[in-house]
Every structure is written in structure tokens, then in C-alpha cells.
């Protein structure tokens, strides 16, 4: 059995505030940020970088303007960042939910049956390494609609981690749990829903977390070739040669990705029940 409450080694000396690890880390973070921003500001003013590189302060002003005016709509090429964000999130949500709805049950099936595992493995192994963007022309040709193509790309790229993690989790359910269900005479269905799926849940959620990360990576790239969304926003601002806006978009994409990942990190803790993941 794993030790459930592994306390960190306690030091006898009561540490002073300055020596605390978290304080040190925060100090390092702030110091490096200040150094980076001043290098940027000074460099841009002195013309060390390419022509047209904005200063840090100008970029921050631009950022502030975008986040305080998120929802305006002057046509597809002049859309508030809030709208673009919502459009991207909606595409991700639809494609991701569809992928999960397919991947989890299929993963359970594959995990439970060695025949299904061997039978489906070639598809998974072949399709998993394909870059999501390689599907783009095919999606456009089949669906003839940029919106649906975006969803399709998210679907096809976020299905694999969930599928693989789910089948791994299901295939590796502790044999003791299955023995318990067996000795009680539990039906197959009851065993699946009450034992196998809850036992594999930490693996399933890790798979969902990786899939969400991939979906968020892919949507930006895919949208550059579609219309609207954060990816298209970046592409559009590149065509306008508006570098500050590109930096603003990069920052917002990062923040949203961070939030999404953290939601799943919390979920992973909720389903762990003392099992170390």
C-alpha cells in the first residue's frame, strides 16, 4: 500500500520568510519578468529589433483596450477578442465533447476485450501521429463548410489521448476489485459501471486533460485557415501587420489554455481518492 499522507521532510529550523521556497520562486518570477520587460521596452525604443516591433508599454495599452472592449462586431475582419474567444471555445467544445463521447465508450470496450484491443490497435497507431492539419483539406472537401471542418479537426485530434488512456485504465483495473465483484456475483453491466469505470476514472480524466490541451493547440492553427476565431484573429492581425495585437492574442490563448488545464487538474484530484496519479 502506498503511504497516503507522505508529509514533506520537515526542517527543524523555522524558516525565515526570505528562505521560504515559495517566496523565492515568486521573487525569481518577478525579477525575470522585470528584466524581460525592461529589455523589451528599451530594445524596442532603441531599435534593436526589427522595424515596427512595439514597445512593452504600447503592447500593454493595446492589451488593456482589447480586454476592456471584448465584444464589438464590425464585420468578420474587425471582431472583438471576446467574440473570437467564444467562437474558438465553441468549436473546441463541440469537437471535444463529440470526441470524448466516442473515445470513452470505445476505450472501455477496447480495454476490456483483448480481441478489440488487437483489432483496433493498427488504426490507433496509424492515425495517432498524423498532424491534425493534415485532415484540413479532407475536412473542407467532405464537409464543404469551414465551421464544421474546424469541429472535425478538433474531433479527430482530441480523440486519441482519451481513447488510449481509457483503454489503458480499463485494461489495468486492479484484479482484486474484479474479484470482489465476481465473488459477489455482480452482473457484467454492474461490474462495468460500478467497478471498472470508476476504477479507471483517474486514467480517463488524464486522457481527457491531454485531449483538451491538444484541442486548444489545434484550434488556433486550424482557424488560421478558416474564418473567425482566435486563430483567424492572429492571421488577420498579421495581414494588418499589427504586431501588438498578435502578442495580445498569444497572451490570451495562453491564459485560456492555462485555465482549461487547471479545471482538469482539479478534476483529476477529485477522482483520485488517495490513489496517486
Partner 1 sequence: MNGVTPDQVDQSLTSQLSIRSVTKTFPGKSGFLDKLLGKSSRDFTAIEDISMEIEPNTFVTIIGPSGCGKSTLLGMVAGLMPITSGEILLNGNPITGPGPNRGMVFQNYALMPWMTVEENIRFAVETVHPDLSDKGMKRLIKENIQLVGLEGAESKHPHELSGGMRQRVGIARALAIDPQILLMDEPFGALDALTRGFLQEEIERIWERQRKTVIMITHSIDEALLLSDRIVMMTRGPAARVDEILEVPFPRPRDRESIEQHPAYHDLKAEMESHLFRETRAVEAARIGRK
Question: What are the phi and psi torsion angles at 78 (to 5°)?
Answer: -145, 75
Q: How far apart are the first and last CA of the chain?
A: 14
By the rule CB under 8 A, 122 interacts with partner 1: no
Q: Minimum Å distance from CB 216 to partner 1? A: 28
Helices 243-272 and 229-239 meet at what angle, rounded to 10?
160
x/- string (CB under 8 A) for partner 1, residues 158-187? ----------------x-xx-xxxxxxxx-
Closest CB to partner 1 among residues 79, 181? 181
- Asked if 277 touches partner 1 (CB under 8 A), the answer is no
DSSP β-bridge partners for residue 243: none
Nearer to partner 1, 47 or 185 (CB): 185
Taking residues 3 to 32 in sequence order and writing x for each that binds partner 1 by CB under 8 A, - otherwise, the string is -x----------------------------
Nearer to partner 1, 140 or 178 (CB): 178
What count of other Cβ atoms lies within 10 Å of the Cβ of residue 218?
23
Residue labelled with grid coordinates 525604443: 45
Q: Which residue from 199, 217, 256, 267 is in contact with partner 1, where contact means CB under 8 A?
A: 199
**HSE toward the beta carbon, residue 231, CA cutoff 13 A:** 19
- Label residue 236 exposed, middle or buried (CB < 10 Å: 0-12, 13-18, 19+): buried
When the beta carbons of 93 and 272 are compared against partner 1, the nearer one is 272
Q: Distance between CA atoms of 6 and 22, rounded to whole angstroms? A: 20
DSSP code at position 19 = G
Q: Considering the rule CB under 8 A, would residue 189 count as an interface residue with partner 1?
A: no
Q: Which of 126, 128, 125, 146 is nearest to 136 (CA)?
A: 146
User: Binding residue for partner 1 (CB under 8 A) from 89, 102, 194, 225?
Assistant: 194
Q: Could you tell me the smallest distance in angstroms from the CB atom of residue 270 to partner 1?
A: 10
Q: What angle do CA 126, 129, 133 make, to 5 degrees?
A: 115
Find the shortest distance in angstroms from Cβ 166 to partner 1: 16
Q: Which residues bind partner 1 (CB under 8 A)?
A: 1, 4, 174, 176-177, 179-186, 190, 194-195, 198-199, 201, 271, 273-275
Amino acid at each position: 500500500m502506498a503511504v497516503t499522507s507522505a508529509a514533506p521532510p520537515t526542517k527543524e529550523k523555522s524558516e525565515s520568510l526570505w528562505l521560504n521556497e515559495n517566496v523565492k520562486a515568486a521573487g525569481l518570477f518577478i525579477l525575470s519578468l522585470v528584466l524581460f520587460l525592461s529589455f523589451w521596452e528599451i530594445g524596442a525604443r532603441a531599435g534593436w529589433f526589427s522595424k515596427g516591433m512595439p514597445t512593452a508599454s504600447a503592447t500593454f495599452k493595446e492589451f488593456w483596450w482589447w480586454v476592456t472592449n471584448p465584444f464589438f462586431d464590425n464585420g468578420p475582419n474587425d471582431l472583438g477578442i471576446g467574440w473570437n474567444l467564444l467562437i474558438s471555445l465553441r468549436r473546441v467544445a463541440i469537437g471535444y465533447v463529440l470526441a470524448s463521447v466516442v473515445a470513452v465508450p470505445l476505450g472501455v470496450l477496447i480495454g476490456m476485450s483483448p480481441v478489440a484491443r488487437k483489432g483496433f490497435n493498427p488504426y490507433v497507431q496509424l492515425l495517432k501521429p498524423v498532424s491534425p492539419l493534415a485532415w484540413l483539406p479532407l475536412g473542407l472537401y467532405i464537409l464543404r463548410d469551414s465551421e464544421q471542418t474546424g469541429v472535425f479537426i478538433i474531433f479527430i485530434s482530441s480523440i486519441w489521448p482519451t481513447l488510449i488512456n481509457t483503454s489503458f485504465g480499463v485494461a489495468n483495473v486492479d484484479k482484486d476489485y474484479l474479484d470482489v465483484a465476481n465473488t459477489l456475483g455482480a452482473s457484467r453491466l454492474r461490474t462495468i459501471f460500478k467497478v471498472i469505470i470508476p476504477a479507471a476514472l483517474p486514467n480517463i480524466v488524464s486522457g481527457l486533460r491531454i485531449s483538451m490541451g491538444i484541442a486548444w493547440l489545434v484550434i488556433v492553427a486550424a482557424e488560421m485557415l478558416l474564418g473567425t476565431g482566435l486563430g483567424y484573429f492572429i492571421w488577420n492581425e498579421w495581414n494588418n501587420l499589427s504586431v501588438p495585437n498578435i502578442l495580445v492574442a498569444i497572451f490570451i490563448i495562453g491564459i485560456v489554455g492555462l485555465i482549461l488545464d487547471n479545471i482538469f487538474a482539479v478534476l483529476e484530484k477529485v477522482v483520485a481518492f488517495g490513489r496517486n496519479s
